[in-house]
Structure 1
């Protein structure tokens, strides 16, 4: 797969200029990793279940130069333009400020694996919307991990990089996420969704070509910021672990739809609904992958609707803005829609016939205005290639 050029990725010029200005000379290279949209399969990843995300054509970029000393100098075009200075010798959780926690966490996780990481000058740029549920943090981590894998000669496989970035996210950032986001960012391919078994990291590329079906994938960023480090995500994960323990299984992956009647008699009502979402969501991932392979992008639409209802009612991770985005999209002509990402804010995705796109956009904006919500950001995304060297 060919790297993008500066003509097709304006972010490359932006991050290169920022690096040159901050550090006074050229970087060793620029690496990129995309955000992701999850087509279906929410909160199943940490339950050793099934997911169907795709890497999107919005990405983070890291321009990096190695240094002989242990200084870690970090700059983000998204921040205040101030260089954050840390040391590779003293990195530990809880001691990296703000956005620097993401690249610093990856350095720390490489060191945990016994890799000697040199000092670094690093400039970061991203056009993945922050807090939108499109995995902006994992895009940063995967870009940095891909760069360090090359610069240190570590030679980790994509599967190992997934676990390294998960370790950074869990132990350094403090967010109890699974492996879906990193897997999509590292292993995604243009024109495809990634069917991922989170138990063994096996993957199958499933064609996802909305344009061929006369559709666009519209993202409605509600601009209600969310964070995986917040308590709601952790509470849902704990409920899933409790459900698995009470049902006597290693993970909810081992519970089938047929087992739910029995589970209802074992679990309290709230824990049961959390479990029911995960179990039925795993089945929806299977059904969606089969439908895409057999019939194309439009066939996944009813599973999107069912997924949103499950997240809204059983897992209770939606919010008024997300529900408004989904309902307004469907009423205006979208063939299927759901919230995407960890929930409690972020984005919804809608499969929209191309000739209805403007009508759906207008309907969503009007619905938000009527409810007194902040105006959402609306844009389309397409399946993209995963992390790679850009220049």
Structure 2
């Protein structure tokens, strides 16, 4: 968080003329493995991180919402009526919190008017799901202030509805689930078809490991470009293979798929099918051997995203290759692709050398310097004041 809770509450009072009813925090996430599998009804293995978005909120007596942020302090609070919210009616970052309020009401919960002030330490555009952190902090605040009894899994679905309909990004449910369901020292193994989840031990510190996030500073957006194209390819592949979703295909079905699909669609399908298998293998490895044995699975995941799904970029490939050359246990791009971040699992003693190698490789290639930082599996969304 860029502001302390006390400072955020004080700024709220300056803006809105009264004290907040509370502060709610929701973390960003790193996806350890399982990329683009979520909207194919597949498996993912994210974990919540210690970087979070915090919202100070107060209920109002009317149906008005005022929303402001510390990252756009020059902007006056945006004021809208709850009854006036509709998909496509809000642009920019405010579509996320306002979309959550719209989605809550669409799901049968009546929200009060709200004053909202948002602060965040989750890097935007880095593939760490700053959007879901924003959605989940607001969803938790709005549910509590409206007196609604909403389960965490239902709040995740409400966040996804907001992002799909209000923002127009065709994302799955992984990010919101990680933010709401995460626990310190664990990853969340999520079945995106059933919505069921379980925690898997991921105690990096106990194994003498660190996970470095390498933000390439190549920004991306889910609502435009290649993300939507990849989703359409997956839907086409499932249709041509006669299944409800690519989740229903196994690795042994790929030989048949090669004879049915055009080359590009086949490669997209192959990534999803093999990535689902890698997620299940990763859970097995974590359960039986621990995180130090994950290297080959992380490397194979990156190769699949680079070659079959074609969502990497020169900066991401440089980050992964430099980290591996410097002794990282494993590395891969993470997130939706076309920019954002890579992750490198390293022994703690090797982390400075890995960081230096990545920074040196970026400099040699003429790229903008990356932002490299360490993350640990953290706690999920909660009220903090």
TM-score of the superposed pair, with normalisation by structure 2 = 0.98
Q: How many residues align?
A: 384
**CA contact 2:2–2:119 (8 Å) conserved in 1:** no
Aligned to 1:5: none
Aligned counterparts of 2:120 and 2:33: Cα–Cα separation in 1: 24
Moved more, 260-269 or 154-163: 154-163
Select the residue among 189, 195, 201 that pairs with 2:195: 201
Within the alignment, does 1:26 sit opposite 2:15 as a pair?
no
Aligned counterparts of 1:18 and 1:297: Cα–Cα separation in 2: 42
Instruction: Structure 1: state its 5+ residue gaps.
Output: 1-7
Select the residue among 215, 221, 246 that pairs with 1:227: 221
Within the alignment, does 1:268 sit opposite 2:246 as a pair?
no
The 1:137/1:14 distance shift into structure 2, 3 A limit, reads farther
Instruction: Structure 2: state its 5+ residue gaps.
Output: none
Question: What root-mean-square deviation, in Å, do the aligned CA atoms of Structure 1 and Structure 2 show?
Answer: 1.2
Within the alignment, does 1:41 sit opposite 2:37 as a pair?
no
Aligned counterparts of 1:184 and 1:335: Cα–Cα separation in 2: 24
Aligned counterparts of 1:365 and 1:13: Cα–Cα separation in 2: 36
Select the residue among 117, 120, 125 that pairs with 1:123: 117
Select the residue among 107, 115, 138 that pairs with 2:101: 107
Select the residue among 298, 304, 318 that pairs with 1:324: 318
Per-residue CA distance 1:192-233 (angstroms, 9 max, x = gap): 001111110111111001111111000000011111111210
Per-residue CA distance 1:40-91 (angstroms, 9 max, x = gap): 0000000000000000000000100011122211110011332111111201
Select the residue among 45, 54, 70 that pairs with 1:52: 45
Report how far residue 9 of structure 1 moved: 9.0
Report how far residue 10 of structure 1 moved: 5.3
Per-residue CA distance 1:155-213 (angstroms, 9 max, x = gap): 11111111111100000010000010010001011100011111101111110011111
Aligned to 1:67: 60
Aligned to 1:4: none
Aligned to 2:368: 374
**CA contact 2:3–2:119 (8 Å) conserved in 1:** no
Runs (4+) of structure 1 exceeding 6 A deviation are none
**CA contact 1:59–1:139 (8 Å) conserved in 2:** yes
Per-residue CA distance 1:3-49 (angstroms, 9 max, x = gap): xxxxx995423422321221122100000100000000000000000
**CA contact 1:11–1:125 (8 Å) conserved in 2:** no
Select the residue among 88, 93, 112 that pairs with 1:94: 88
Aligned counterparts of 1:94 and 1:223: Cα–Cα separation in 2: 28
Aligned counterparts of 1:105 and 1:357: Cα–Cα separation in 2: 40
Within the alignment, does 1:336 sit opposite 2:323 as a pair?
no
Which runs of structure 2 are paired with 1:282-293 in the superposition (5 Å)? 282-293=276-287
Moved more, 203-212 or 38-47: 203-212
**CA contact 1:41–1:50 (8 Å) conserved in 2:** yes
Aligned to 1:389: 383
**CA contact 1:75–1:81 (8 Å) conserved in 2:** no
Report how far residue 149 of structure 1 moved: 1.3
The 1:303/1:11 distance shift into structure 2, 3 A limit, reads farther
Which runs of structure 2 are paired with 1:151-162 in the superposition (5 Å)? 151-162=145-156
Per-residue CA distance 1:264-283 (angstroms, 9 max, x = gap): 00000000000000000000
Aligned counterparts of 1:125 and 1:248: Cα–Cα separation in 2: 46
**CA contact 1:106–1:164 (8 Å) conserved in 2:** yes
